[in-house]
Amino acid sequence: GQQLNQSPQSMFIQEGEDVSMNCTSSSIFNTWLWYKQDPGEGPVLLIALYKAGELTSNGRLTAQFGITRKDSFLNISASIPSDVGIYFCAVPGKTGSARQLTFGSGTQLTVLP
């Protein structure tokens, strides 16, 4: 089945630093999604990517859809304490829609003051 390799598994950074994380797969996808999960909450969609090579921003967050369609990257600039949480990449499953998502293993982000 589909498998997404997400790295790094965890990150400890100083407030104000930039963060990068990525997901790779051996399969090709037409959509890449990035979610954030705060402690005690469900995942919330941050950015959706629909086209190979696409670069999309949402505030301090920027995500890229890899040109090979097998990977995606998420960058967070000038991190702040509320960036703490788990970040997941995800792709639609066999339905091709959000009804069935496959998630990466997550990147646990800790921002130190």
* 3-class state of residue 83 by DSSP: helix
CA atoms within 13 A on the CB side of 113: 1
Phi-psi region of 13 (alpha: psi -120 to 50; beta: other; left: phi over 0): beta
Q: Which is nearer to another protein, 66 or 92 (CB)?
A: 92
Q: Which two tokens stand for residue 105?
A: 């293993």
Residue 100 as a binder of another protein (CB under 8 A): the answer is yes
Instruction: Select from 55, 78, 80, 98 the one that contacts another protein (CB under 8 A).
Output: 98
Binding residues among 39-68 for another protein as defined by CB under 8 A: 40-45, 48, 50
CB of 102 to another protein, least distance (A): 7
Instruction: Rule CB under 8 A: say whether 97 interacts with another protein.
Output: yes
Q: Is 82 helix (H, G, I), strand (E, B) or coil?
A: helix
- Per CB under 8 A, residues contacting another protein are 1, 31, 33, 40-45, 48, 50, 88, 92-106
